[in-house]
Structure formats: structure tokens, C-alpha cells
Amino acid sequence: MEKIFIIGVAGGSGSGKTTFAKKVLKGIKNLESTLLHMDSYYLDTQPSENYTSSGKPNFDHPQAFDWNLLREHLRELKNGNGIKCPIYDFKNSARTEEFEEIGPCRVVLFEGIFSLYDQEIRNLLDIKCFLHVDSDIRFTRRLHRDVKERGRSLESVISQYYDTVRPMYQKYLDPQRQYADFTVGEETDVASLILAARIKELLTTQQKMKPATAFEAI
């Protein structure tokens, strides 16, 4: 069976993980590739013990995610199978009844704030990268995204940032840098090209190592 490559892209909220991953996918120009968002695996109901003092759920805590389902889906993709990825509605903070069929494919770009957090998942990753972007830039990007795309008010975004986003980044997210094979800054164009080239190299090497079939040997 052909080897499946899973690339982990971690970083704080607003660091540009999705944009970077899409640049990499464009760079490899491989139809057998896909993008898996960790945000799709938010729990329907957030653990009450992680609520803030103002009674708001903490979506930036590791326990905010459905780790069992995420691990299962990544294992399935690694084994060359397809998955039914949940679809999360950010405006209502809940999963929809729909799902997205993903895979099977040769390359999976897996992006999320905790994509390098779990050891079992790290063991499935072939390349691990971390986007290290200045906090002011991350906050500004998050502000524009949440207001424009997720229907949040300016006040709620600012409050959430100081209540959970900023402290959780310092406590849980930034330490993931130690597990990364390389760190990417704000300018991602060159880094995405380098990563895309590396992925294509892995695919080419794997193809050359593939045993010849009876037809190919003739």
C-alpha cells in the first residue's frame, strides 16, 4: 500500500494556518491531497469546568475538542481510508447534522491550534510545523474573521481574547513549538514553497521505492 503523508500545521488563532496550508496544497498540485481542519472537531457541549468567570465556554482549552473522534479519523486517513468529517457551525457553536467526506488521499494537511498537542497524533504526522506570528497580528486577524465570518460582536471577540485566547496560547499553544520540525513566521510564501517541495520529494521517493508489478517487470 502506498504511504499516506500527514502534515501537521499548528499555531495560535489568527496565525494563518488555513491560508498557509492552502498555499502548500497549491504548491504540490496533487489531486490526491486534502485539508483537515481541527475546528471541525469541537465538542457539541463544552466542559463546564473550563468556563470563564463570566460563564462563557473556553474554546481554546485542549478539552474543547473531541479527541477520540479526531484520533480515529486521522488513523483512518493514515491507513488509506476515507472519513466522514463533522461540520461545525461557529455561529451556533454546535455541530450540524451534515458531514464532509474526506479521503482517501496521499497527502493530508491537518491544521489546528492543537494539531501538535497530542502525542498519539504527533506520532501519525510525517512533518510538523508551527506558525509563530506576533500576538498583535493574530488578534487583528481573529477580530476581522470572527466579526465578518462568524457573526460575533466586536466586544465579544475582545472579551474572549483576554479571557481565554491569550492565556491559553501562553499555557498550551506556544509550548507546542518544541515538537515542530520547523517554525514559520508571518511571511509564509517561501515557507509554503519549501514545504510543498519537501512533500513532493517524499511522494517521489515513495513512488521509486514501490515494488514493480508483474506488468512493470516485463
C-alpha to C-alpha distance for 29 and 43, rounded to whole angstroms: 33
On whether residue 216 sits in a domain, the answer given is no
On whether residue 183 sits in a domain, the answer given is yes
User: What is the percent of the chain with per-residue pLDDT over 90, rounded to a whole number?
Assistant: 66
Average pLDDT, the chain: 89
Residue written as cell 510538523? 128
On whether residue 24 sits in a domain, the answer given is yes
On whether residue 217 sits in a domain, the answer given is no
Total count of domains within the chain: 1
Average pLDDT for residues 56-83, to the nearest whole number? 96
Q: How many Cβ atoms are within 10 Å of 27's Cβ, its own excluded?
A: 17
C-alpha to C-alpha distance for 39 and 111, rounded to whole angstroms: 9
Instruction: Please state which of the ranges 59-68, 141-150, 170-179 shows the lowest mean pLDDT.
Output: 141-150
Q: Which has more pLDDT, 12 or 159?
A: 12
C-alpha to C-alpha distance for 130 and 184, rounded to whole angstroms: 6
Average pLDDT for residues 67-73, to the nearest whole number? 98
The residue count of the chain comes to: 218
> Residue 149: which CATH number?
3.40.50.300
Q: How many Cβ atoms are within 10 Å of 41's Cβ, its own excluded?
A: 22
Sign of CA dihedral 69, 97, 102, 88: negative
Domain hosting residue 179, numbered range: 5-208
On whether residue 94 sits in a domain, the answer given is yes
Average pLDDT for residues 53-67, to the nearest whole number? 93
On whether residue 213 sits in a domain, the answer given is no
On whether residue 201 sits in a domain, the answer given is yes
Query: Among the residues of 66-105, which ranges form H helices?
Result: 67-78
Number of helices (H), then strands (E), belonging to the chain: the values are 8, 7
On whether residue 76 sits in a domain, the answer given is yes
